[in-house]
Structure 1
Amino acid sequence: MNSFTYTQADAVDTAVDERASDLTAKFIAGGTNLIDLMKENVERPTRLIDITRLPMATISETLEGGLRLGALVTNADTAYDERIIQRYPLLSQTILAGASPQLRNMATDGGNLMQRTRCYYFYDLATPCNKREPGSGCSALNGFNRIHAILGTRTQGSDGQLAEPNCIATHPSDMCVALAALEAVVRVTGKNGERSIPFAEFHKLPGDTPHIDNTLESDEIITAIDLPAKGFPDNFMYLKLRDRASYAFALVSVAAALELENGNITDARIALGGVAHKPWRKPEAEALLVGKPATKENFQAAAEALLAGAQGYGHNTFKIELAKRAIVRALGQAAKLEPTA
């Protein structure tokens, strides 16, 4: 680990100013991902700016009828908050499916959004990686890519042809999959003031800039995450398929949320984890369910639409069929057509 300086910020403006004056500096709160990256020399900040003293550690009501999660609220405190359990049980269920109790006690909600994407080769400095060094190549493409992405990896060139992927890493968060399904909003502050980012626009697909994971400006800090009034408290399911029952990243995960009226679907949300560089949603696939009865056949049609264009790279090709089956199962459990155990 390289040497670095350490400071504690006592105000949001101070933290922003310190970051703006040194763009190699990093904010640190729980540090559950950043410290790992520093140990492996993937991240080499010259300075750590401790933000744990900032006034961003509460959950409050919004005027729109939702909840505001302060960026420094821990994952554990979010998952066990009675308002979250009652009004956004999908989010509570999703957080508790991730990491371990010890990590959830340390990890913050804002920090969860800032996790770097997951890839063996990204952590291995002896191998080429476009995320660490743009233009060096992607070792995962022809390597062991069982955990890697099957969606959103390729961009269309000026000739209309799909280009070779620059990165097939996956976003590791469970919490973010639920936030994508719930259509949360990320609130940030920087030198140019405050702004709100719809969750679907916060994380980026790799495209030609695989080293850039999100749409934050270099001097901005996450201050809160806003949950909308609609929380789908009656019909929801987070299904996480992984190699072991705990402390493992998802091979495929599904956050499913439905509104039902007399057996018919009036609203549907489906977000996938473990399959792309960001939590994956496709509103047009969800729209196929609206106005239709909650049946396996309709769930299958939505799954096919959601996985349209998916591509495997050898070891991870199995994820395409696995994701389709997981979507059908999660929707069936959300609709209470099959048991959740």
Structure 2
Amino acid sequence: MVWMNNSDTTEPLFILKGFPGLEHIHSWLSIPFCFAYLIAFIGNVTILSVVWIEPSLHQPMYYFLSILALTDLGMSLSTLPTMLSVLWSDAREIHANACYTQLFFIHTFTFLESSVLLAMAFDRFVAICRPLHYNTILTNRVICKIGLACLLRSMGVVLPTPLLLRRYHYCHVNNLSHAFCLHQDVLKLSCSDARVNSVYGLCIVIVTLGVDSVFILLSYVLILNAVLGIASREERQKALNTCVSHICVVLIFFVPVIGVSMVHRFGKHLSPIVHILMADIYLLLPPVLNPIVYSVRTKQIRQGILRSFGLGRRS
């Protein structure tokens, strides 16, 4: 067991495994990961810049998209320092406080992503089911309140987890399974009675990701019901097209989350590399693909990007 003396206290020093068995190709593995982080950064910053610059995009839908882009940036930046430290310099040690801080941000941005996707589903519901009241319901002030509520909820449900982890004793081999800190990964190293954290972790997943996914599904049931009531086929298609991008990013987020949960629960016999790759996909895929989906599928965003580079006509 590795420990760090700090004044009168003794804190554990965790070891990030990274990619066990693949240490000899860490330099090669760093290439796709650096590329993914670069794409995530450029893509989300581009979305934020285009929405900021283009007056035609100063609408609720694109404000929520900007919040999603900020969340994706936060999610990717939360894992970036330790991931590159492991791959570039084989620096695997991480102090307990740094580990607790990292897992706080990783899980906060994960739950925040779910909350923002729910808010975007509500935006599409109002736009299609209450189009005449869209601008009066989703005012700038209401959007700010929704964004703040999403942030406070995500931070509030995650905050107790690192505080509780600090109170536990760690007496086993302190090797973490990934190149970053996750709550369950740290929790399994504790030799204290950690049932409180285990039960609490399950509860917050249910009341955040579980509840959000149910309400997102309910929103689209109501949207589909409203769309089917539209007489014109062209209008039905136009209404559904405004939802396609959001449906894609919902699947990009929730499918890997479900995959990670299934592998964690039922795939204990699988290679550790499978668990590691699933966790990496769940944390990196949304920041990389979300801006691509909106850039390709949303005409206004695509035109805004082209105008920003001087390749499109300004209205």
Normalised to the residue count of structure 1, the TM-score between the two structures is: 0.28
Identify the structure with the greater helix proportion.
2
Higher relative contact order (CA 8 A, sep 6+): 2
TM-score, reference length from structure 2: 0.30
Q: Which has the larger radius of gyration?
A: 2
